[in-house]
């Protein structure tokens, strides 16, 4: 960061969920389409500064199709582009 702080990210939750209506609208997918929901808390100087929730359609993460990947608390990894 430009101010010399090192941000830290803690993954709070990662799981496969049905897309809620607002998420489906933004992602241009059908309601209840499987998505990965990742909730992260970001810290600067040991203080929480932002809570981020990310939704990724499961079709964009083909390597994350196992229950372990869907429920594990680490960020999924994949290669390729998200279209």
78 falls within a domain? no
Distance CA 38, CA 9 (A): 12
77 falls within a domain? no
pTM of the model: 0.70
Q: Which of 1-5, 18-22, 37-41 has the lowest mean pLDDT?
A: 1-5
Q: Which two tokens stand for residue 15?
A: 């799981």
1 falls within a domain? no
- What residue numbers bound the domain in which 25 lies? 8-71
pLDDT per residue as tens digits for the range 4-23: 888 999 999 999 999 999 99
CB-based contact 41:9 (threshold 8 Å): yes
pLDDT of res. 76: 44
50 falls within a domain? yes
76 falls within a domain? no
């Amino acid at each position: 960061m430009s101010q010399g702080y090192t941000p830290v990210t803690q993954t709070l939750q990662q799981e496969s969920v049905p897309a809620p209506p607002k998420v489906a609208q933004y992602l241009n997918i059908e309601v209840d389409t499987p998505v990965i929901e990742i909730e992260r808390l970001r810290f600067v100087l040991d203080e929480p500064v932002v809570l981020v929730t990310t939704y990724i359609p499961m079709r964009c993460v083909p390597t994350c199709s196992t229950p372990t990947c869907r429920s594990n608390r680490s960020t999924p990894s994949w290669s390729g582009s998200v279209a």
